[in-house]
Structure 1
Amino acid sequence: MKPYAEVIGDPIAQSKSPAIHNFWLGRLGIDAEYRACNVQADELADYLAARRTDLAWRGCNVTMPHKQAVIPLLYNVEPLAEAIGAVNTVYPAFDRSLTGTNTDAAGFLEPLSGTLGKTHLFRMARIFGTGGAARAIITALASQGFTLVLAGRDPGKARALLDELAPEGEHHAIDLAHFAEPTDFPFDDRESCLDLVVNASSLGMQGQPLLAFDWSHAPPRSIAYDIVTAPHETHFLQAARDQGLHTIDGLSMLIGQAAIAFEVFFGQPAPREHDDELRRILTA
């Protein structure tokens, strides 16, 4: 039986995860495979029951709309995933009991590691979106000492997320529309500060409206981070570069979180020395 892992969701055809994991398997010469499996909401429990008894199955990544729905179907949920309230990776323990974890938070922080290793007088992140990915990002940034401004179409939902995931900070919830119009706010000296502007929503994705954000709301020297992966070059990132800002694309988080899951599934670290080649494949 050839070992395999997979990604589940509905829809799932757009997922880049098979390309990433199969690239790494090939580079390492591991005789295994990684698949995509469309699983609808009413099929999730049956899917997990069947895979649990399949000894070739090494686990699965979980994408929308199952990241929260999968939790009550698992035997164990690791503390970080429990704190985030979302699971994106499921694997069978030694007795085939199913355990859930979350690699999104660490994957999001990975490309920021060098910057986060420095000392700052103040850290602030403006985050757009209140969905499943935002939960991991809120948790990750709160753990790194950021003051958060969470913007959503429903400010009440944004406030509830902050109260649930980052209750100890002085964070702010605001209507997404607030950032669509220009501002003449006089930002103070930000040289010793770290400012992030994060699109944690699906806005800007192929087939979705653009994120309406006026860059006058971004402090000088902000870092713009877009988790959207299709298209690779989003309007959000292009506009940030036009302002002279440093940018981080969605492939950075996608590859980072996938590398953690890869080691869980296949027992070896992902060969990250081939990241440039992998990026060329994913953006071809």
Structure 2
Amino acid sequence: MTKPYAEVIGDPISHSKSPLIHGFWLEKLGIEADYRATRVAPDALGAFLAERQRDPAWRGCNITVPHKVAALDHVPDPGGIRGSIGAINTVFRGENDAFVGTNTDAAGFLSPIADLDWAGKSVIVVGAGGAARAILFALSRVGAGRVTILNRTPLKGAALLAQFGLKGDALPLPARLPAAALLVNTSALGMTGQPPLDLDLSPLSDDAVVYDIVYAPLVTPLLAAAAARGLDTVDGLEMLIGQAALAFELFFGAAPPREHDDELRSRLASGRTA
């Protein structure tokens, strides 16, 4: 009998650390299942999901660039994600084995900073893609103050501010930063193989937090610059592990063993698989 499995899909996908994360938890819990990385081209997304629906061993998938918005056209959306976040990052089997699309990015993003009070605080968000949607949704729920979106296409950023009912500005990238308590990079800038994200962080407050969801490399130039300024930083593994934990339980019906997070982070940082 074929073992149950889940996977992460995207294009490209070879950089993904999701197989290591889920594989680590499956090993710790002694669950006989697999987790894979599968490259899916944009024009093959619909056919891929239709094929997986016919595979009884398939438990679901995590979704990364560039499919987070497009996937909404191919799976049911009982939670109304299209009208709220506007992007999904997880597909799983719900009642009667029916596909369900959801988004674990928002909760995963908030997890490492949830103990801080963001009500009324100014925030800068770099990027306006699928991950930015989840993060802006989360910021709207914690009552963030003015939000400045930096994006190559400011009109796209302005539309997102309106969608999530946030007050702020949409500026071209690069632009001089306003004062802010939190800066979040949701773009691929700074990722291995991508152009760097070169920002002057001097306008940020001395107690600001700089959060980069890029995790390859783990210490991005943005985080290095923030640390050099003495600012608190949050790296991409925090959100990656947080959103993965929620998806893991949906796929495999068991809570991941988060007491081993330090060991997991060590493996992720070193690239070891065992």
Larger mean Cα displacement after TM superposition, 64-73 or 79-88? 79-88
Shift of 1:77: 4.1
C-alpha separation between the residues in 2 aligned to 1:219 and 1:231?
25
User: What's the RMSD between the two structures over aligned residues?
Assistant: 1.6
The whole-number CA distance in structure 2 between the counterparts of 1:161 and 1:121 is 19
Cα offset for 1:198? 0.9
- For residue 278 of structure 1, report the CA deviation from its aligned partner: 0.6
Deviation of the 1:283 alpha carbon: 0.9
Equivalent positions of 1:14-93 (< 5 A) are: 14-80=15-81, 82-93=83-94
Contact in 2 for aligned 1:71/1:77 (Cα 8 Å) = no
Aligned positions of 1:130-279 closer than 5 A: 130-147=128-145, 148-164=147-163, 166-167=164-165, 169-179=166-176, 195-279=181-265
SS in 2 for 1:84: coil
Residue 179 of structure 1 contacts residue 212 of structure 1 at CA under 8 Å; is this kept in 2?
A: no
Report SS of the residue matched to 1:149.
strand
Aligned residue type for 1:150: I
Aligned residues: 268
| CA offset digits 1:202-224 (Å, max 9, x no partner) | 11111111112101121221001
More deviation, 155-164/75-84:
75-84
CA pair 81-104 structure 1, distance change in 2 beyond 3 A: farther
Segments of 5+ residues of structure 1 without an aligned counterpart are 188-193
8 Å contact kept, 2:119–2:143: no
Task: Using structure 2 for the length normalisation, give the TM-score.
Answer: 0.93
Which protein has the larger Cα radius of gyration, Structure 1 or Structure 2? Answer: 1
Give the Å deviation of 1:103. 0.4
Q: Is the 8 A contact 1:70 1:87 kept in 2?
A: yes
Which portions of structure 1, spanning 4 or more consecutive aligned residues, are displaced by more than 4 angstroms? none
Contact 1:89–1:101 (8 Å) recurs in 2: yes
Q: Which runs of 5+ in 2 are unaligned?
A: none
Whether contact under 8 Å (2:81, 2:88) holds in the other structure is no
TM-score, with length taken from structure 1: 0.90
DSSP 3-state at the match of 1:238: helix
Name whichever of 137-146 and 258-267 sits farther off: 137-146
> How many Å apart are 1:81 and its aligned residue?
5.6
